[in-house]
Amino acid sequence: MSYEYKVVPAPTRGLKAKGVKTAEDRFANALETAMNDLATDGWEYQRTDTLPCEQREGLMSKTTVYQNMLVFRRARPQAKAVAAPIAVEQPASVPADPPVVPVQKSEPTLSASSDQPRRRSGQQVTRPLGTPERLTPELKDELMKAERVSKPNKTSDVAAE
């Protein structure tokens, strides 16, 4: 049987609770809470280890600090053999699902007079990447109208104040 392990830092401060007064009792409560939380997820407590950890202190120096770690383990789930699917017959009264038919989008058609696609209502004109957009007089008028609608009139805002 193989196991997976989880290592968590031991609590460094006590945990307040009702009826827990002393520092030792609070620390024991914090440790008990941490162990019970992991036990609910299936982790089994193994041991506590004190391990050295090198930390940087300032710009150039390093110091060794000792960390208390709690070690837990749990059994890895075994890969189960996949059983062959069981054929279940449906009663004749249940209608079969209708077939799904994909929806086809219509492509913009090219006008006979130019290489530009014709504009349909509510549809944007797309062009190949790298080709410059041709600004026709009709498109220029349409852009100018859109700018007038989107920009507020500054003279009327000043007069209202």
Q: Tokens for 66, please give them.
A: 């000792």
Residue 23, in any domain of the structure: yes
Does residue 31 contact residue 9 with C-beta atoms inside 8 Å? no
What average pLDDT does the structure give for the chain? 76
| Phi, psi (rounded to 5 degrees) for 21 | -105, -50
Q: Is residue 126 part of a domain?
A: no
- Tell me the whole-structure pTM to 2 decimals: 0.46
42 Rama class: left (phi>0) / alpha (psi -120 to 50) / beta: left
Tell me if 66 is assigned to some domain: yes
Q: pLDDT tens, 16-62?
A: 999 999 999 999 999 999 999 999 999 999 999 999 999 999 888 99
pLDDT digits (tens, 9 = 90+) for 67-92: 999 999 999 887 665 555 666 565 55
Asked, for residue 157, whether it belongs to a domain, the answer is no
Which SS3 state, helix, strand or coil, does residue 56 take? Answer: strand
Residue 100, in any domain of the structure: no
Q: Which residue has the higher pLDDT, 101 or 4?
A: 4
As for how many domains the chain has, the answer is 1
124-133, Cβ contacts within 8 angstroms, sequence gap of 24 or more: none
Domain assignment of residue 26, yes or no: yes
Residue 59 included in any domain? yes
Q: How many residues does this entry show for the chain?
A: 161
Its domain, for residue 10, covers: 3-75
Q: How far apart are CA 160 and CA 153, in angstroms?
A: 11
Question: Looking at the domain assignment, is residue 11 inside a domain?
Answer: yes
